[in-house]
Structure formats: C-alpha cells, structure tokens
Amino acid sequence: MSTIEAVISDFGGVLTSPLMQSFVALQESSGITPQALGGAMAAIAARDGANPLFELETGRLSEAEFLGALEHELTAQLGHEVELDRFGELYFEHLHPNEPLIEHMRELRARGYKLAICTNNVREWEPLWRAKLPVDEIFHVVVDSAFVGYRKPERRIYEITLERLEVAPGAALFIDDFEINCKAATDLGMTAVWFRSSDQAIEEIEAALANGG
C-alpha cells in the first residue's frame, strides 16, 4: 500500500449524479429557478447577516425554518404564493447513485484503505441521502456538516474527519466536485482530486495512490 491510508469522498455530485440535474428537475416540478432560489437566499443573508444555506448545513437552522424563510422571500419577490414543502423529496427523487465511483470505493475498501464520507448536508435529509448508496457497507466514517456544526471548506470539518479516521493529513486523499473544497484539503496537507467526471476522478485517484500522494 502507498503512504496514503485513507480516502475521503464528498457525497452529492461525486457519489451521485451532478447536483445541477436535481436543481433543473426541481425547477420543472416547482417552477422556481435556481436563480430565483439564489436571489432569495442572498436577500435573506443580507437581511439576517448569515447565509441561510450555511446555517442549514451546520444545523443552526432547521429545514422547516429554512424553507419557511425561502417561501416568504420568494413569495415577496415573485408576487405569488410559493410553497416548498416537498423540496427535499423532489430534490432527492432526481439524485441518482454514481455506480462507477461507488464500485471503485468498494474496491478501495477491499484493498485495505480506510474510507470516509465528508458531506455538507441537512440534518433532516440524512435518511434520504443514506438511502442512495450502501453507506455502512463501504465507509468506515461519515462526517455530516449538519451534525458536527462545521461545513466545507471550513478547516475544522476536515480535521474532524481525519481524527475519526485516525490518520494524518498527509495520509489522506480527498475527493470533491467543488474546487474550493479541494483547495482547503490541500492547504491542510491532504492530497486532493477535483471531481469532474467518474473516469477522470478514478484515473487521478489511482495515480495519487500509486504515487503515495
């Protein structure tokens, strides 16, 4: 085995289909565009002094509080009543497992690597996202932002993941579809693979493992 002992993967957009596909499907179902959602969240952040998505993903805001604030803002901006009561369910209906990468993770575990998921997520959505893949069969550790109170790219969530894996930063490989999250991992001393496609990511993962990071 190389000097890398652990592989840490993001969930949405890496172990699943691209997140934008779910937002497009959500737009078709609800009539609310990603641009409208973004504008509403920006308005709430400007008014309250905190990004509501960040508050949701760190467990400081409940799903009901988040959706209620969004409904109020979107109703005001769009001029008609907006209801987002099935937001989570609709979102996950169109999020599908990335089978090639999941299978690669299964192979890495069989080869002796420690595996972890490090995800920015929503406390109330845990049953929905865990149902998308065999989490406990493949991964030794799961670090969910909504339960630990920190979110990527905050340094502390990476430290928590490394502590639970019991590995040093230099012994970990991190995979994420957001470049900023990969940079935070490399700043801490990890090797990072910026996910753009399954084939590209698997090739770069294997190259990193072969080179010891």
Cis omega (within 30 of 0) for bond into 153? yes
How many CB atoms are located within 10 Å of the residue 126 CB? 16
Nearest to 191 by CA among 206, 199, 200, 108: 206
Cα–Cα dist 131/30, whole Å? 23
Mean pLDDT, the chain, rounded, equals 94
Q: What percent of the chain has pLDDT over 70?
A: 99
Cα–Cα dist 13/4, whole Å? 23
For the chain, give every domain's residue range. 6-17+96-210, 20-92
User: The tokens of 48 are what?
Assistant: 């309250």
Residue 58 CA: distances (Å) to CA of 3, 62, 143, 147: 32, 10, 12, 7
CB under 8 Å to 97, separation ≥6 — which residues? 15, 16, 17, 132, 133
Nearest to 76 by CA among 40, 28, 38, 32: 40
Nearest to 102 by CA among 74, 75, 80, 133: 133
Residue 2 pLDDT grade (very low, low, confident, very high; cuts 50, 70, 90): low
Residue 23 pLDDT grade (very low, low, confident, very high; cuts 50, 70, 90): confident
Which tens digit of pLDDT belongs to each residue from 180-189? 999 999 999 9
Which tens digit of pLDDT belongs to each residue from 124-178? 999 999 999 999 999 999 999 999 999 999 999 999 999 999 999 999 999 999 9
Cα–Cα dist 19/206, whole Å? 25
Q: Find out whether 190 and 158 touch, Cβ atoms under 8 Å.
A: yes
Q: Read off the amino acid at residue 82.
A: V
How many CB atoms are located within 10 Å of the residue 176 CB? 28
- State in words which class domain 6-17+96-210 has: alpha beta
